[in-house]
Amino acid sequence: MKFNRRHFIGAMVAGSAGLTATKSFATTLCGETPALLPNAMAALDAHADRIVHRDVIGIVNFAAHSRLPRFQLVDVAGGRVLKTMLVAHGNGSDPAASGWTERFSNRPGSNASSKGAFVTGPTYVGKHGRSRKLIGLEPQNEAALRRAIVIHGADYVSMDRALNQGRIGRSQGCFAVSRAEIGDLLEILGEGRLLYAWKEEG
């Protein structure tokens, strides 16, 4: 999915608000520039001392419903979306199991998602299989490592579930993707890269 080069470069410097409608988010699945790209590029620059590799970034748009593929891997140098996939949010962020991310927390035990810029850490094998640690780079997510907020695969994330139930399952605050996607995700978004997750509140 190639971006128009002018559109891609313009997105890096233009202001951007998070998407608030399912319809508008769906356009990103056809190769449009991710709505949060300007925010992610600003975060990439702001945390340049912590982010070793700037070739690929991950962007999660928590303004979109969980039934939609809202996790995009972006090839910064090539100007294209490499992969788009489903991703869960924490059950503490969606207590009614509506599929919408309603709140965020950095508090241990909240089971909520955190937003902001993260740098990817090493992989390990835990209860969810091969996973990748995340280190929060901002006050709103600095407890991510202590909270064990990671990227992992989960059976409750699948397109079948999204289609049949109208939403996917919820994590305990981790960025959970489908078992079918986790291998590619861990390889493409390797250690020392940016993961940027956001939703405008209020």
Mean pLDDT, all residues of the chain: 87
pLDDT tens by residue, 107-149: 999 999 999 999 999 999 999 999 999 999 999 999 999 999 9
- Residue 202 is predicted with a pLDDT of 57
> Cα separation of 185 and 177, whole Å?
9
> Cα separation of 106 and 142, whole Å?
7
Residue 79 confidence class, pLDDT cut points 50, 70, 90 = confident
Angle between helices 37-46 and 5-13 (to 10 degrees): 60
| Domain around 88 | 5-198
CATH number at residue 39: 2.40.440.10
Which pTM value belongs to this model?
0.85
Nearest to 37 by CA among 65, 68, 3: 3
In total, how many domains does the chain have? 1
> Cα separation of 159 and 66, whole Å?
10
